[in-house]
Amino acid sequence: MRTICVFNHKGGVGKTTTAINLAAGLSRHEKKVLLVDLDPQGNLDVSLKTQSKYSVYDALTGKVPVQQCIVPIAKNFDMIASTENLTKIEYYLSHQSNGRDVFKNILSSIKGYDYMIIDCPPSLGLLNQSVLSFAKEAFVPVATDFLGVDALKKMPSVVAEINKHFNHDLKITKVIPTLYDQRNNICKEMLSLIQQDFPKQASHPIRNNTKLKEAPKYGKSIFSHAKSSPGAKDYGKLVEDVLAMQG
């Protein structure tokens, strides 16, 4: 199983949009996918209209076994939802003797999927640290603007720090330029900087596309909401790229 966290400590860069559409796209290629929401905003639950009974918080705090938190979304596509009570998890973890291992201990009991995709909140807190010390790959969506690229520059040192501290081997395997507008010079300039700094990891850009903003309103991925849209084409290419990578 490939364990991929969709991570960037900067907010609003397309992490959740990427996590949903990547998971949905891979499941349409007959891969079995588990999507894990770790953002207390609970955006995935709302975007996919799951109405789960239990959330990841219940599993992390030992209320229920993690298997009871898994809900089916579509063929080959399951999810573990998050709710706003996850805001209390940092406090909970900091008071556990093995706080930083809780996530790993619980999530590593899950088997039977080809991909586990974890949508991280925008932070460098304890929860994200424990996710980064569990996942094998980080996919980093980055907005094609100046501040987005500035935040990206810090990413290799964040990952190096985690690997050193946790004796882990997390790798940034994809950098995904998002919110791209080819009519905009700053976007073009930032895209070439991303490609220059991450020549192996940089994917083709995900264009700015209103259909991507609309899809959550209907509880759908971009592939069911607007399959001919630029958003579906761009995420479709990303899915093919990911399938072609060595896991």
Ligand X SMILES: Nc1ncnc2c1ncn2[C@@H]1O[C@H](COP(=O)(O)OP(=O)(O)OP(=O)(O)O)[C@@H](O)[C@H]1O
Residues that bind Mg ion (CB under 5 A): 15-16, 39
- Evaluate whether 178 touches 142 at the Cβ level (below 8 Å): yes
Torsion on CA atoms 175, 177, 179, 182, rounded to nearest 10: -170
DSSP string, 114-164: SEEEEE--S--SHHHHHHHTT-SEEEEEEESSHHHHHHHHTHHHHHHHHHH
Q: Which is nearer to ligand X, 43 or 133 (CB)?
A: 43
User: How many CB atoms neighbour CB 7 within 10 A?
Assistant: 28
Question: Interface with ligand X includes 39 (CB under 6 A)?
Answer: yes
Question: Interface with ligand X includes 203 (CB under 6 A)?
Answer: no
Instruction: Give the tokens for residue 196.
Output: 């220059």
What one-letter code names the amino acid at 118? Answer: I
In the complex, what is the shortest distance from the CB of residue 228 to Mg ion, in angstroms, rounded to a whole number?
26
Question: Interface with ligand X includes 213 (CB under 6 A)?
Answer: yes
Q: Which is nearer to ligand X, 25 or 121 (CB)?
A: 121
- Evaluate whether 234 touches 204 at the Cβ level (below 8 Å): yes
In the complex, what is the shortest distance from the CB of residue 120 to ligand X, in angstroms, rounded to a whole number?
8
> Mask of contacts with ligand X, 98-137, x by CB under 6 A?
-----------------------xx---------------
Partner that binds at residue 14, options Mg ion, ligand X, none, CB closer than 5 to 8 Å by kind: ligand X
User: Which residues contribute to the site for ligand X (CB under 6 A)?
Assistant: 11-17, 39, 43, 121-122, 178-179, 206, 208-209, 212-213
